[in-house]
């Protein structure tokens, strides 16, 4: 069983494991994930396992943090991911979150992101956490601002990535 990282009133954030591959496959192929975040090219269970092992799990080992499965505490049902990502091109880790559309507009993204930011400060004692988002992703912009991050500038992370809003 994967370790729980933090809990809120309604949510549990825990480490991802290969058993989560079917959910990750669904999340990464949701059209809104592809539109607002990026197409990870994960199209089957084996690729979802590779994504989990070479992304979040590798990050837990190298950085002491990563993206975590976000699930409803009572129902033990996965609804998305939330966590911290250390990206090439960014000096500080950024907070990331993605939920399946069925769980939007219920406060879950804010609840998980605010708890993750607090965890980053108090438990991990990170000096700074930033946020990046697609400029057209109005909902994500609102969440970054609601958890206290302020827009700084537009950046480009290269690798054929579009311009991105940078918050700190």
The SS3 call for residue 85 is: strand
Quickly list H helices, 1-85: 21-28, 31-36, 45-52, 58-63
Alpha-carbon gap, residue 77 to 75, rounded angstroms: 5
Alpha-carbon gap, residue 102 to 37, rounded angstroms: 17
Beta strands 4-7 and 11-15: pairing type?
A: antiparallel
Residue 158: DSSP 8-state: S
Whose tokens are 């700190």? That residue is: 168
Alpha-carbon gap, residue 23 to 79, rounded angstroms: 9
**pLDDT of the residue at 88:** 87
Beta strands 67-72 and 77-85: pairing type?
A: antiparallel
Give CB contacts under 8 A, 24+ apart, made by 48-54.
48/21, 48/22, 48/24, 49/18, 49/21, 51/24, 52/16, 52/17, 52/18, 52/20, 52/21, 52/24, 53/18
What is the model's pTM?
0.94
Name the class of domain 4-130. Answer: alpha beta
**What are the C-alpha distances in Å from 94 to residues 20, 48, 104, 109?**
23, 22, 21, 15
> Tens place of pLDDT for every residue, the chain, 168 residues?
579 999 999 999 999 999 999 999 999 999 999 998 889 999 999 999 999 999 999 999 999 999 999 999 999 999 999 999 999 889 999 999 999 999 999 999 999 999 999 999 999 999 999 999 999 899 999 999 999 999 999 998 876 677 899 999
């Amino acid at each position: 069983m994967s370790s729980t990282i933090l809990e809120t009133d309604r949510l549990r954030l825990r480490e991802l494991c290969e058993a989560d591959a079917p959910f990750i496959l669904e999340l990464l192929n949701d059209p809104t994930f592809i539109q607002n975040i990026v197409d990870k090219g994960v199209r089957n269970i084996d690729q979802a396992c590779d994504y989990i092992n070479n992304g979040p799990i590798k990050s837990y080992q190298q950085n002491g943090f990563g993206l975590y499965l976000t699930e409803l505490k009572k129902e033990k049902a996965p609804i998305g991911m939330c966590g911290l990502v250390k990206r090439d091109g960014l000096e500080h880790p950024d907070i990331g979150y993605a939920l399946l559309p069925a769980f939007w507009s219920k406060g879950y993204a804010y609840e998980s992101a605010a708890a993750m930011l607090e965890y980053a400060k108090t438990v991990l004692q990170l000096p700074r956490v930033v946020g990046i988002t697609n400029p057209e992703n109005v909902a994500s912009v609102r969440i970054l601002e609601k958890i206290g991050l302020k827009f700084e500038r537009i950046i480009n992370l290269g690798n054929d990535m579009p311009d991105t809003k940078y918050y700190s």
